[in-house]
Each structure stands twice: as C-alpha cells, then as structure tokens.
Amino acid sequence: MTAKISHEDIQKVIKSVPLLSASANQLLQTSTDPDHDLVHIVNIVKTDATLTARVLKVVNSAAFGLINEITSLDRAISYLGERLIVGIAIGDCAAQLFDKQLKGYEGEHGDLWRHDLRTAIASREVVTQSSSKINPDLAFTAGLLHDIGKALISDFLQGTASEVLDKIENDEISDYLSAEEEMIGFDHPRAGYELALAWKLPGAITEVIRFHHTPSEAKEELQELVYAVHLGDNIAMMGGCGTGADSMHYKLDPNYTKFIELKPDVLANIMLVVNEEFDKLERSFSESGESN
C-alpha cells in the first residue's frame, strides 16, 4: 500500500531544489508583462555571463545551421526569439528537476524535459495557428513548465505504475490524474502549483501548472491560455512524447472549442510543425549542453 503524502512532504522536496536564478526569475516576470520589449530581455541576459554563454552556444549549434557564427548577444537573441531565451534560462536553472528520471512514471532519463519542450512548442503552435489572441511566447513558457510537479512526486509514486494501469484498464480509476490522487493523495498539477508559489512564478504560468488537465477550473480570464497548453500537452503525448506509463492516460476537455478553433487539417499541420521544430530544438539544446 503506497503511503499518502502531505503538504509538508511536498514542501520538503521543494526546499531541496535550487531556486530559479535571479535572471531566470526576471526573464519570466518580464516576458509575461504585456508592455515589455525585446531590449528588456537583452538587458537581463547581458548581466548573466553563464546565460549569455549558453545563448551563444545554442544559436551557433549545428541544429540551427548558420553559416556565419553569431558573436553578438543582441543578434543571437533577435535570431532565437524571446521564448527560446526564456527556455534556455529555465532549462538551465531547473536542470535538477528536468533531468530527473521519473521512475514513479516508469519514465526514461530526459523524458520530462523532452515532453515539456514538445508541449511548449505545441502550445505556441496552437495559439499561432488558431488566431487566438494569447501571446505565443507566453504559451511556450507556460508549456515548458506545465509538468514540473511530476519531478516532485515521482519518487513517491515508485512501483505504482503497473497497478495504476490495471485499475484504469478495469475502469476502477478514470485516468492518471485520479490515480495519483488515489495512490499518494496528491496529483502533479497540485505539486507543481506549490513549486510555482515557492518560486513566485507569474500568475498566468502558475494557473497553467495548476489547471492544465482541468482547464475549465482555471480563472476565467486565463482559461484560453490554460486550454492552449492543455491542447499542447495532448498534442505532445499524441506525438509519442510523454513522461512514461501515464502518457495519453489523461482526458481531453472538449470545451476548448469555446476559446480555440481547430479544424482537423489545422491540427494535422500543427503536429507536423511541432515534429520538425522539436527535432531542431532538442538537438540544439543537447548540442549546447542544456537539459536532456
């Protein structure tokens, strides 16, 4: 019988994880501010030598195939775009979480990073290809962090995957979210929410982390963003890129149609673009020594 965990157990795990760096925090806050410019992003990166070096490594990685090396930070940021800069910063700072092998989900090493990266790309594509008014880069960043809670509860779930899959197969549990709650009394969106509060993440991102499987429960003014990441998450799983035994064992909320129009052809195109973009970014991040 797996033990139920408490709020204090989660807080203990959160305290054991390094906080986001000052620049990662500033980048997150700035990028979610609707009135910011790229120059604000450049100014934050310039103050962080490690981050600057990473950005230059990524932009010059073989995956981007640039003929001439980019040596100026301004040009690198302009070329990569804001979302990748934020992505690099988050991936670097939260490496301890993203690199964790999710044994509780029977996941492979690097699965969490790959799934979150693919969700980030997919969430952004959902927004850009559906004429949604959401900031695409915000959708990307929220997608990148949406499943961070899994890294916190994975260890508590060890050994449960087989039993959970049997119960779902026998209709004793409806999906993996309910399974997490039944097994340990805590699900990954809630765990991620606790981390988001501890890291003082922007409200919009916190809301996505908390409600990405139950978007209808999110604050009304943020539901469109939460639904975008909800769809991005499902698209990533449909692409075979999940975090282990739980992949695809979550419910799609069909009420996304209230906010986001997606015809089947558009969805097919999104899946195609996501596949190509993911291949490129995954390669560039691993070539430059980012989370993998």
Partner 1 sequence: MSQIILGVGDYGASNSPGEDVKTFALGSCVSVVLLDPKTRTVGMVHVALPESSINQAKSREKPGYFADTGIPALLAAMVKFGCNPKGKGMVVKLCGGANVMDTNDTFQIGKRNALSIKKILWKYGMGAVSEDLGGNFSRTVTVSVDTGEIILSSPGRPNWKL
Residues that bind partner 1 (CB under 8 A): 105-107, 161-162, 164-165, 168, 175, 234, 237-242, 244-245, 247-254, 262-265, 267-269, 271-272, 275
The nearer residue to partner 1, 87 or 244, going by C-beta atoms, is 244
Compute the least distance from the CB of residue 170 to partner 1, in Å.
14
Q: Which is nearer to partner 1, 78 or 275 (CB)?
A: 275
Between residues 95 and 252, which has the closer beta carbon with respect to partner 1?
252
Distance CA 284, CA 66 (A): 12
- The residue (of 37 and 108) whose beta carbon lies closer to partner 1 is 108
Q: Report the residue number, 198 or 252, with the smaller CB distance to partner 1.
A: 252
Shortest distance (Å) from residue 58 CB to partner 1: 22
Closer CB to partner 1, 118 or 190, in the complex: 118
The minimum distance between CB 272 and partner 1, in angstroms, equals 6
Choose between 83 and 249: whose C-beta lies nearer to partner 1: 249
Distance CA 235, CA 275 (A): 10
Q: How many CA atoms lie within 13 A of 120 on its CB side?
A: 27
Helix (H) or strand (E) holding 55: helix 49-59
Structure tokens at 17: 């994880």
Q: Is 271 exposed, middle or buried (0-12, 13-18, 19+ CB in 10 A)?
A: middle
Q: Measured from the CB of residue 266, what is the shortest distance to partner 1 in angstroms?
A: 9
Q: How far apart are CA 51 and CA 46, in angstroms?
A: 8
- Considering only CA atoms, which of 194, 188, 91 is closest in space to residue 149? 188
Q: Which residues contact 88 (CB under 8 A, 6 or more apart)?
A: 51, 54, 55, 58, 285, 290
Helix axes 38-46, 49-59, angle to 10 degrees: 120
Measured from the CB atom, the residue of 219 and 263 that comes closer to partner 1 is 263
Closest alpha carbon to 237 in 228, 248, 253, 227: 248
- Assess contact for 256 and 211: CB atoms under 8 A: no
Minimal distance, residue 186 CB to partner 1, in Å = 19
Minimum CB separation from partner 1 for residue 107, in Å?
7
**Least CB distance from residue 210 to partner 1, whole Å?**
20
Question: What is the nearest approach in angstroms of partner 1 to the Cβ of residue 233?
Answer: 9
Q: Specify the amino acid at residue 123.
A: S
In the chain, the N- to C-terminal Cα span, in Å, equals 33
